[in-house]
């Protein structure tokens, strides 16, 4: 669970926190058909307001992941990966998993 601001608490499916600062660095949200709007809309806006460096939105329905990076304009879509494509993060030694392994 991470407090993004007063009154805004999220619980990503996977979270990486910087040890030195205690700040959330990567949030991974697995999109559920039950709360698709919350996962893709409201949470993205909340993470963006907090200048989250990385956001992964995993959508099992389409066997893909949207990879967002922070920029001076907020979170921007850097890549959409699917099937046998490998999910990697240059600043992390792992994970290196395929989309099919996530679903």
Tens of pLDDT, residues 30-73 = 888 776 666 677 888 889 988 999 999 988 888 889 999 999 99
Range of the domain at 47: 2-102
Tens of pLDDT, residues 62-100 = 888 999 999 999 999 999 998 888 887 877 776 666 666
Q: Which two tokens stand for residue 67?
A: 């990879």
Q: Considering only CA atoms, which of 32, 9, 26 is closest in space to residue 75?
A: 26
Q: Which two tokens stand for residue 89?
A: 């993060």
**What is the pTM for the complete model shown?**
0.80
User: CA-to-CA distance for 17 and 25, rounded, in angstroms?
Assistant: 5
CB 64 within 8 A of CB 80: yes
CATH number (domain holding residue 66): 3.90.1570.10
Q: Considering only CA atoms, which of 99, 81, 96, 89 is closest in space to residue 16?
A: 89
The number of domains in the chain is 1
CB 103 within 8 A of CB 83: no
């Amino acid at each position: 669970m991470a407090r993004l601001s007063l009154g805004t608490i999220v619980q990503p499916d996977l979270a990486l926190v910087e040890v030195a600062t205690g700040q959330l660095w990567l949030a991974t949200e697995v999109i559920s058909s039950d709360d698709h709007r919350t996962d893709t809309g409201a949470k993205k806006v909340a993470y963006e307001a907090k200048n989250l460096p990385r956001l992964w939105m995993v959508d099992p329905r389409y066997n893909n992941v949207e990879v967002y990076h922070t920029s001076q304009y907020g979170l921007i879509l850097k890549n959409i990966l699917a099937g046998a494509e490998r999910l990697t993060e240059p600043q992390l030694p792992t994970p290196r998993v395929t989309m099919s392994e996530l679903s």
